[in-house]
Amino acid sequence: SQKIEQNSEALNIQEGKTATLTCNYTNYSPAYLQWYRQDPGRGPVFLLLIRENEKEKRKERLKVTFDTTLKQSLFHITASQPADSATYLCAGNNNDMRFGAGTRLTVKP
């Protein structure tokens, strides 16, 4: 079956460090991958989109990569801050939009 997996359920890092989150997909070839942030009690909010023919995308402190050989996307937050603490979700798009289970990031001061 088609799967999008985020390997880490939780990630704890120190303020100022770079957080790296992983998203893998199997039996699936998404044309696009998207990353969302979700805070408790709220709906997800869009962060970045990357197409399968793009290697890397950046937006301020955020960077996302897409490796179709490894079937993997990496999401980086540089110079992390406690305000970055949230759950981060990756989603694959073909005709529909499917999500991984999410990684709960905690940035400690």
34/80 with CB nearer other proteins: 34
Q: Pick one of 77, 100, 105, 107: the residue that binds other proteins (CB under 8 A).
A: 100
Rounded least distance, CB 81 to other proteins, Å: 23
Contact 67, 73 (CB under 8 A): yes
How far is Cα 90 from Cα 73, in angstroms, rounded to an integer?
A: 9
Of residues 32 and 74, the one with the C-beta less far from other proteins:
32
At 8, the amino acid letter reads S
State in angstroms the smallest separation of the CB of 48 from other proteins: 9
Q: CA separation (Å) from 1 to 11, 25, 26, 28, 44?
A: 27, 10, 8, 8, 24
Site for other proteins in 30-89 (CB under 8 A): 31-32, 34, 36, 41-46, 49, 51, 89
31: exposed, middle or buried (Cβ count in 10 Å: 0-12, 13-18, 19+): exposed
Instruction: Look at residues 41, 69, 45 and name the one whose alpha carbon lies nearest to residue 55.
Output: 69
Q: Least CB distance from residue 9 to other proteins, whole Å?
A: 8
Binding site for other proteins (CB under 8 A): 6, 9, 31-32, 34, 36, 41-46, 49, 51, 89, 91, 93-102
